[in-house]
Amino acid sequence: MNGLETRLLAAHAAGDKSALVTLYEEAAAGAETPEAQGFFLTQAYVYALEIGHAKASTLHQRLKASGREA
């Protein structure tokens, strides 16, 4: 398990949705495939929506730009 996975698991265990937004964005940045990047960005977006995070709009735009939403 790498450091990012460890931090993601810890944030999930703690229920720290703000950290999950940041960590899933980080995972998207390091994703090896467009599918993985889309998955991680979607996760970041979902958590951002749940807490009214300031990055929700930006994440939504990134998903749309990558063809993940019409």
Tell me, what's the pLDDT at 1?
63
pLDDT classification of 69: cutoffs 50, 70, 90: confident
Query: Which tens digit of pLDDT belongs to each residue from 15-68?
Result: 999 999 999 999 999 999 999 999 999 999 999 999 999 999 999 999 999 999
CA distance 50 to 30: 24
Tokens of 17: 């949705």
Tell me, what's the pLDDT at 21?
98
Task: Report if residue 21 sits inside a domain.
Answer: yes
Number of H helices, E strands in the chain: 4, 0
Task: Report if residue 70 sits inside a domain.
Answer: no
Number of domains making up the chain: 1
Task: Report if residue 34 sits inside a domain.
Answer: yes
Task: Report if residue 55 sits inside a domain.
Answer: yes
Find the domain containing 41 and state its range: 3-65
Task: Report if residue 11 sits inside a domain.
Answer: yes
Would the pTM of this model clear 0.75, i.e. be above it? yes
